[in-house]
A and B are shown apart, each in its own frame.
Chain A
Amino acid sequence: MIYEVFARKDHHQELKHVGSVDAADDELAKVYAWALYDEESWVEMCVVPRSAIIPVTEHGRVPVWGN
């Protein structure tokens, strides 16, 4: 299952899309997000199953473009 990874490096910044991981479940997705996107000591990081993302804008789409 593909999960999108979001993170922020500072509390006063918005969450930003940093990439995606392929994982069997939520717990593994957490490990992989941590291991793959470790370029920052993020203050917050989270993963969202790609299937849970609902596009809103007209050209909204998944995967999330333009990380």
Chain B
Amino acid sequence: MVEIASGESLNAACRAALKNLLSAIADTKLLLGYHYGEWTFGTPVLEASIANCSLSQTELGHVRLLHGILKSHFDEDPERLLESRPPREMAGVEFLDRELPDWAAVVAATLVVDGALTLALHSMRESAFLPVRNVVDKMLEEERYHAHHGRGWFRALAGRGEAPRSTLKERVEAALRSVEIWWGPEGEPEDALLVSEGIKSRSNSELASQLRRDLAELAAACGVELELEGTAQFDGWDPRTRRRGDSSVNEEILYHMRGSKNQIFKLT
């Protein structure tokens, strides 16, 4: 197996593609960390609050780790990534751009968005790029309970009657549409390159099918009919932002995540 020990040893195209992918994962995790934090409160049971708080901590830990890799191997400055990048350069999953409006949306984010990231990480377990391969198992181990939490609440909400079930369906489908855009079009060149160079084992479209299959199985078991087939349009899709339009994350969320209010406490 090819083993690539550092960012400098990657060829230029591959390095750019991997940098985009890792930044996009980190951006999404940053937003997940924010939303799980917000939903440490107002959950149906205290246990769910505590779980979300724990999930937030995991995601933010992963952001810190990914930023470390981007710094060591891709000449990125974590401070720039976090604090001074224009919001339109960020590549988080669109579903997380705004406050999650209700508990069903949190369940959808856990199940679909967090689930998609886990699949993306999983495809790098055997990565030729060692700095990623060496951390993926630990990350996946920490993600295990995220999936349990998403699935458990999907079942719980699906079983609570018509209204909860239809809200759940709506949120999960919206999250999935958003994730489909984030995966990108089938055969997208950067993704294809990462697969052919052994950085990832499976393409994003394969991962997308896997996610749809997993969701279909869960939904069927709970008697929920999900609209899973994507109708995503990709003209003008940008691999750096993983979007096509110029939508971007809510400024208020960024204000919080950047610690803008506490500027004087950013000590070096």
Are chains A and B touching in the complex at the 8 Å CB cutoff? yes
A25 CB contact (under 8 Å) in B47, B51, B53, B152: B152
Q: Which of A24, A25, A38 has the largest number of chain B CB atoms within 10 A?
A: A24
Q: What is the interface residue range for chain A against chain B?
A: 10 to 19
Q: Are A32 and B50 in contact (CB under 8 A)?
A: yes
Q: A21 an interface residue at 8 Å Cβ cutoff?
A: yes
Hey, which chain A residues are within 8 Å of B152, CB to CB?
A: 23-25, 27-28, 31
A32 to B45, CA, bound (A): 11
A21 to B51, CA, bound (A): 12
A22 to B155, CA, bound (A): 16
Hey, which chain B residues are within 8 Å of A36, CB to CB?
A: 47, 50
> Which A5-44 residues sit within 8 Å CB-CB of chain B?
21-25, 27-28, 30-32, 34-36, 38
Hey, which chain A residues are within 8 Å of B256, CB to CB?
A: none
Return the CB mask of B156-173 against A: 1 if under 8 Å, else 0. 100000000000000000
Closest CB of chain B to A40's CB: distance in Å? 15
Would A35 and B148 be within 8 Å (CB), given that A25-B155, A28-B156 are in contact? no
Q: Are A21 and B145 in contact (CB under 8 A)?
A: no
Q: B64 an interface residue at 8 Å Cβ cutoff?
A: no
Hey, which chain B residues are within 8 Å of A32, CB to CB?
A: 47-48, 50-51
> Which B124-152 residues sit within 8 Å CB-CB of chain A?
145, 148-149, 151-152
A38 to B155, CA, bound (A): 25
Q: B54 an interface residue at 8 Å Cβ cutoff?
A: yes
Hey, which chain A residues are within 8 Å of B148, CB to CB?
A: 27-28, 30-31
Q: Classify the interface of chain B: helix, strand, loop or mixed.
A: helix
Q: B39 an interface residue at 8 Å Cβ cutoff?
A: no
A38 to B51, CA, bound (A): 11
Q: Are B51 and A31 in contact (CB under 8 A)?
A: yes
Would A25 and B156 be within 8 Å (CB), given that A30-B145, A31-B148, A31-B149 are in contact? yes
Closest CB of chain B to A15's CB: distance in Å? 20
Hey, which chain A residues are within 8 Å of B46, CB to CB?
A: 22
A42 to B51, CA, bound (A): 17
Q: Are B145 and A31 in contact (CB under 8 A)?
A: yes
Q: B182 an interface residue at 8 Å Cβ cutoff?
A: no
Taking Cβ atoms with an 8 Å cutoff, the residues of B that contact A are: 45-48, 50-51, 53-54, 145, 148-149, 151-153, 155-156
Q: A22-B47, A24-B156, A31-B51 are in contact. List 14 more A-B contacts (CB 8 A).
A: A22-B45, A23-B152, A24-B152, A27-B148, A27-B152, A28-B149, A31-B145, A31-B149, A31-B152, A35-B47, A35-B51, A35-B54, A35-B145, A36-B47
Q: List 22 A-B contacts (CB under 8 A).
A: A21-B47, A22-B46, A23-B47, A24-B153, A24-B155, A24-B156, A25-B152, A27-B148, A27-B151, A28-B47, A28-B148, A28-B153, A28-B156, A30-B145, A30-B148, A31-B145, A31-B149, A31-B152, A32-B47, A32-B48, A35-B47, A35-B54
A-B pairs, 6 with minimum CB distance: A28-B152, A32-B47, A24-B156, A27-B152, A35-B51, A35-B54
